[in-house]
Amino acid sequence: MSLNENKKLKMDDNYYKCLRHLQEIDFVLLELSLYLDTHPNDQNALAQLNQYHQIRQRVYREYESCYGPLYQFGRSSSKYPWEWIETPWPWQV
């Protein structure tokens, strides 16, 4: 797959499930972070944030083990050869 390919790719159902799950978890983490900005002593909210962080790490590792790097610029590791250019671009799925 090259950078210039604009065709729509169809990935397996687990690909979309993992991406959707990561988006949902990221939303929860963002909302909890914003809440904790104004309620820093809420231990329950902090526990939820840490719980969802752990869940996100697990889903993130699952995604990358199946489909390759999710992030660029050193935020994801890569097998040899460089995998980033081999995974679908967001507009291709």
What pLDDT is recorded for position 12?
83
d(CA 60, CA 39): 28
What pLDDT is recorded for position 52?
93
d(CA 52, CA 42): 16
d(CA 49, CA 47): 5
Q: Pick the closest to residue 45 from 32, 31, 56 (CA basis).
A: 32
What pLDDT is recorded for position 20?
93
What pLDDT is recorded for position 70?
77
d(CA 43, CA 85): 42
What pLDDT is recorded for position 14?
87
- State pLDDT tens for residues 36-82: 999 999 999 999 999 999 999 999 889 888 887 777 665 555 556 65
pLDDT tier, 91 (very low <50, low <70, confident <90, very high otherwise): low
What pLDDT is recorded for position 32?
93
